Structure 1
Amino acid sequence: MAADTASGPGAKGLRSALWEFLQGLGKTFMLPVALLAFCGILLGIGSSLSSGAVTDSVGFLKHEPFQTFFLALAQIGKVAFTFLPALFAMAIPLGLAREDKGVAAFSGFVGYASMLLGANFVLQRRGALESTDTKEDYDVTPVLGIESIDTGILGAVIAGIVVWRLHERFHRSKMPDALAFFGGTRSVPIISAVVLSAVGLAVPLLWPPLADGIASVGRGIASTGPFGPFLFGMGEALLRPIGLHHILVALFRFTDAGGSGMVCGEEVRGALNLFYAQLDCDQPSKAAADATDFLSQGKMATYLGGLPGAALAMYHCARPENRGKIKALLISGVVACAVGGITEPLEFLFLFVAPFLYVIHAVLIGLGFLAAALLGVHIGNTDGNLIDFFVFGILQGTATRWYVIPVLAAIWFVVYYVIFRFFITRFHLKTPGRDPGPAEDAGEVVTEHDHTHPTGEVHGAAGQPAGTATAVGLKGAPAILAALGGGANITSLDNCITRLRLSVEDMSLVDDDVLKANGAVGVMKLDDHNLQVIIGPQVQSVKDEIDGLMADGN
């Protein structure tokens, strides 16, 4: 019995640590993915407007200045695609490190390059670089100018995690006086080079079976036909509230799980990699065409039609006297969704008050992926917004079957509106504007800590216009910091696209009501010390202001 008691807290602590790590890891993907999305737009615009299909229809685009400009855009857009593994290897220690983040990022590059060189050494000793056949056996590819085994994003992620652990262990290390110059932060890239070189020596032995396993997963998903995209789209939506969707998405975008195939004579792995490679290739590739089933096109029915329909249903179901108060909230949520591809500001309005409605929403997202795949749509990139629809759908010509998307969006708009209106009225769900209480006073800023909630509860925008009282900005940051128990209560603070991710000393000091009154869409308490505060698209400015307040001793 005593043994069970002793093991309980330890197991709980391990789960908490693992949860915090996975949350943080998913967040680190955002920096390279954001660059990738922007570069993808440049590549899409440049490649489409310099292509013969477009210039034959729009004659003036054949003139040299236009061709030079658009070809330059396409070339610039290749930067993220070309160096993507290195970007991940730097972004992971940068995002996970608590101190000396610049040193961590620098060490990430050093470690990743060292791993490539370690693998290159083994390949040379085995004579694997002497002929084309042996190179193919080991899947040798030039990476950063080094002939090595192409471990792709997964290898870069592993390297980044190892470097992060080394950084946390050694960035404050002390050396004897004779070697003091190499101590502290300078020791991190040195140790990273040594350790990752050793890891690289093992790559030729360990990577082939791991790669075969991932490829088998990809083949299994491909064998399900359009149900693979359905499960992917639904799974991403279900993981989004807890912030682990980034890991699933990266697996499909950058590894064999999302497909693999030849594009212009080169083997490419991952749905997004295939799509970007095809943009720069005139030869059609079935693998690249199939890869879009896991990309933007599947989101568009929901992002451009479904969620706006849900927003209209919530508006119509609100009490008449409250509709004016929630109008700005709903409109900003629709704009963030349709233009930015950011869905959380709308999703968190009903996730907390009706989780079953969110499950229905996730299924409908999956059905959007299924419908787009069955109808032969081929629109790639990452966000599923109007920008992707225009750049990677309309500009690429009718071969993308972009004209199907408005039809699907219209159908999803009606379906969402009917479903949401029925459930809201039938079950009296407290979506924004349906509560007649005094909490409806939009614009009120609350700073007192009058209420606390047990750890583990999830609180969100229920009947009130949930903390959307005002658009969250710098004015609300001091109150948000106070509602989190002050700077002394915060042990770590970071953010992803829409939410603050925090660790606190004392969860009882966190006041959900004050957070919502000052702009939070919802609060998720993950365990005794970790929580997420859903803010919306302005989360970065809020986080930066809180950082400044904490630096000033608040």
Structure 2
Amino acid sequence: MKKTKAALWEFLQGLGKTFMLPVALLAFCGIMLGIGSSLSSDAVTGNLTFLKGEGFHLVFTWMANTGLVAFKFLPVLFAMAIPLGLAREDKGVAAFSGFVGFAAMNLAVNFLLTAKGVDFKDEKAIAHYGIADVLGVESIDTGLLGAVAVGVIVAVLHRRFRTQKMPDALAFFGGLRFVPIISALVLSAVGLLIPLLWPTFNSWITAVGRGIGHAGVFGPFFFGMGEVLLRPIGLHHILVAMFRFTDVGGAGAVCGEQVSGALNLFYAQLNCKAAPTGDVTTATHFLSQGKMAVYLGGLPGAALAMYHCAHRKMRPEIKALLISGVVACVVGGITEPLEFLFLFIAPWLYLIHAVLVGLGFLTAAVLGVFIGNTDGNVIDWLVFGVLQGTTTKWYLVPVIAAIWFAAYYFLFRWAIVKFNLKTPGRDEPEPDAQEPEDEPADGAGEAAPQRELIAGKYDAVAILEAIGGPGNITSLDNCITRLRMTVEDAERVDEARLKKLGAVGVVKLDAHNVQVIIGPQVQSVKDALATMVPAG
């Protein structure tokens, strides 16, 4: 039972992590689309007439078209990214097989619909089945859910069959070559089931979306709060993806095309000159402007409170930590370096933080702020708010952020002092006779100068020792800010030592699944550790 639970945790963590590759591309493409579409729009060029020049127009139109890459091909990107991320070896074959499986599934859907005599131009049939053009094939648009199903199935097939042995007569098709072959066969069979099952499933999704819609501003409230509460265990990506890319986040027609998902609606509207209507106007309720109250105001206020509550002689030591956390939050939209400074010492304070994030989403929805995108940082505010004109109500964001800054500052300062919370700098340095013995593990002593520190801060050798050595790690990966590991024994992971070595926090999900929150440099730390951990 314990092994099953550990395997499930590892799978869910891995699945959430695989979303990061296409989502990172999506965020970049969103910025390209936002800048390109805004600076080539009539509203902006009417005020800045020099942008009407042919050179400027071509450049910004090119940027907008480049930004459409992720939006137009999002499902197949997920279908490839999931097996790529879940595979431990031969990742290229896994990604290739993901594309093959996705294409095979949609071709099989087209085959069955054609065999049943479905008219692809009939509006009732289109609405009933959800027919759309998928990679040039008239198929059923299963969106992200179909892509995730393809990715997971291909990942399982890849793990099972990548070393498949065949009889001598068929040996050419064995091994890695067999993975795309079996993926095509299995996903083609799945494609034959989709026209039979999808209409019912689609109606369920639509019902959930309508339920959220009927919740009004409380829908975004529960979404924002849920995302924060799921973040410590790394499963928030699944919730976010559901709202961004499926009918749960809204659906509507944009420039004559039916679009599902809050983020898809938002990007489609960026590329459409017509005025938004219906669900399209509320698409951003689940997007980045809901985060801006906390990201641009609240958490920086909490950081200032932690700084002021630290002992004076400790403030210089924690200043860099807090400033880097604020920069990651405000500029990068990455909150974990600040959140994990108080999550473990005061979980109830983190719960209040989650409620305040939900209230940020609610406030933006009530006031009709219409900015969008994914990160909630200052770049989103500038590109998708300020540059898009006053219809986005971008000017309300600084006011809301200032209110949240004050609320977080006074709440955190009161809580830290009242309950003597041990936030950074609250502990006096204590001379410890045992400290000299610990120094070699930190890389001090004669060997220290020979050790190259990652980003001038992280000692990969010492971090590996604190995790329990290479023998304690059975799988190693990372997401945006944290190492995700399956270990032989979580008790061998030295949490205190990891924090001394620069980790923001350590999450022990169970006896075998551990996450170490590093911050923006986690990829470099993971790559360094991977060179010292035997491939399993």
Greater Cα shift, 425-434 or 481-490: 481-490
> Which residue matches 2:168?
177
Aligned counterpart, 1:540: 523
Work out whether 1:485 is the aligned partner of 2:476. Answer: no
Whether 2:42 is the aligned partner of 1:13: answer: no
Moved more, 76-85 or 501-510: 501-510
Q: Do the aligned residues in 1 keep the contact of 2:454 with 2:524 (CA within 8 Å)? A: no
Partners of 1:97 and 1:444 in 2: CA distance: 42
Q: Does 1:228 align with 2:219?
A: yes
Secondary structure, aligned partner of 1:293: helix
Amino acid at match of 1:138: Y
Task: Confirm whether residue 111 of structure 1 aligns to residue 94 of structure 2.
Answer: no
Unaligned 5+ segments in structure 2 are: 443-452
Contact between 1:81 and 1:276, CA under 8 Å: does it hold in 2?
yes
Q: Which residue identity lines up with residue 420 of structure 1 in the other structure?
A: F
C-alpha contact 2:36 2:64 (8 A) present in aligned 1: yes
Asked if 1 retains the 8 angstrom alpha-carbon contact of 2:298 and 2:405, the reply is yes
Aligned position for 1:423: 415
Change (3 A) 1:408 1:445: farther
Residue of 494, 499, 504 corresponding to 2:482? 499
Q: Cα distance, 1:23 vs. partner?
A: 1.1
Instruction: Tell whether 2:418 aligns with 1:435.
Output: no
C-alpha distance in structure 2 between counterparts of 1:198 and 1:552, whole Å? 34
Equivalences for 1:277-292 in 2 at 5 Å? 277-286=268-277, 287-292=279-284
Is the counterpart of residue 70 in structure 1 residue 53 in structure 2? no
Give the equivalent residue in structure 1 for 2:446: none
Q: Which amino acid aligns with 2:64?
A: A
Q: 1:484 to 1:130 in 2, by over 3 A?
A: closer
- Matched-pair contact (CA < 8 Å) for 2:129–2:198: no
Of the three residues 487, 508, 515, the one matched with 1:525 is 508
Structure 1 residues 341, 535: CA separation in 2 closer, same or farther (over 3 Å shift)? same
Q: Aligned partners of 1:151 and 1:219: how far apart in 2?
A: 18
**In 1, Cα distance between equivalents of 2:220 and 2:70:** 25
SS at match of 1:173: coil
Counterpart for residue 8 of structure 1: none
State how far apart, in whole Å, the 1-side matches of 2:439 and 2:243 are: 43
Matched, 1:258 2:249: yes
Is the partner of 2:272 in helix, strand or coil? coil
Task: State whether structure 2 residue 360 is matched by structure 1 residue 377.
Answer: no
Indicate if the aligned counterparts of 2:482 and 2:518 stay in contact, CA closer than 8 A: yes
Contact kept? 1:445, 1:518, Cα under 8 Å: no
* Residue 52 (structure 1) aligns with: 42
1:150 correspondence with 2:133? no
Equivalent residues in 2 for 1:299-318 (5 A)?
Answer: 299-318=291-310
1:443-479, CA deviations, whole angstroms, 9 ceiling, x for partnerless residues? 99956679xxxxxxxxxxxxxxxxxxx9865751111
Contact in 2 for aligned 1:298/1:372 (Cα 8 Å): yes
Residue deviations 1:239-297, cap 9 Å, x none? 00110000000000000000000111111000000000000001122322201000000
Q: Please show how residues 321-400 of structure 1 align to structure 2 within 5 Å.
A: 321-400=313-392
8 A Cα contact 1:141 1:149, kept in partner:
yes
Q: Which runs of 4+ in 1 moved over 4 A?
A: 443-450, 470-475
Equivalent in the alignment of 2:445: none
CA distance in structure 2 between the partners assigned to 1:232 and 1:444 by the alignment: 48
Query: How does 1:91-240 map onto structure 2 within 5 Å?
Result: 91-133=81-123, 134-240=125-231
Distance 1:384 1:283 in 2: 25
CA 1:502–1:478: 2 relative to 1, 3 Å: same
Check 1:513–1:444 CA distance in 2 against 1; reply closer, same or farther (3 A cut). farther
TM-superposed CA distance for 1:549, in Å, is 2.8
CA spacing shift, 1:191–1:234, aligned 2, 3 Å:
same
Whole-angstrom CA distance in 2 between matches of 1:275 and 1:228: 17
What CA distance in whole angstroms lies between the structure 1 residues aligned with 2:84 and 2:158?
10
Query: What TM-score do you get using the length of structure 1 for normalisation?
Result: 0.92
Q: Distance in 2 between matches of 1:224 and 1:205?
A: 31
Distance 1:300 1:227 in 2: 17
Aligned length: 522
CA distance in 1, matches of 2:162, 2:535: 25
Percent of residue pairs bearing the same amino acid type: 67
Q: Distance in 2 between matches of 1:541 and 1:446?
A: 24
- Structure 2 distance, partners of 1:444, 1:201, is 67
Conserved? CA contact 2:144–2:246, under 8 Å: yes
Cα distance per residue 1:24-74 (max 9 Å; x no partner)? 111100000000000000000000000000001001000000000000000
Q: Secondary structure at the match of 1:340?
A: coil
What is the CA distance between 1:345 and its match in structure 2?
A: 0.2
Counterpart amino acid of 2:241?
A
CA gap 1:156/1:444 in 2 versus in 1, 3 angstroms: farther
> 1: CA distance between counterparts of 2:228 and 2:431?
30
Note the C-alpha offset of 1:185: 0.8
Against the structure 1 CA distance between its residues 376 and 552, is the aligned structure 2 distance closer, same or farther, given a 3 Å change threshold? closer
Q: What displacement does 1:16 show?
A: 2.1
Query: Does the 8 A contact of 2:206 with 2:247 survive in 1?
Result: yes
Which whole-Å CA distance do the structure 1 matches of 2:276 and 2:401 have between them? 28
Structure 1 unmatched runs, 5+? 1-10, 451-469
The 10-residue stretch of structure 1 (312-321 or 476-485) with the greater mean CA deviation from structure 2:
476-485
Aligned counterparts of 1:326 and 1:471: Cα–Cα separation in 2: 19
Verify the 8 A CA contact 1:31 1:91 in the aligned structure 2. yes
Partner SS, residue 36 of structure 1? helix
Structure 1 SS opposite 2:514: strand
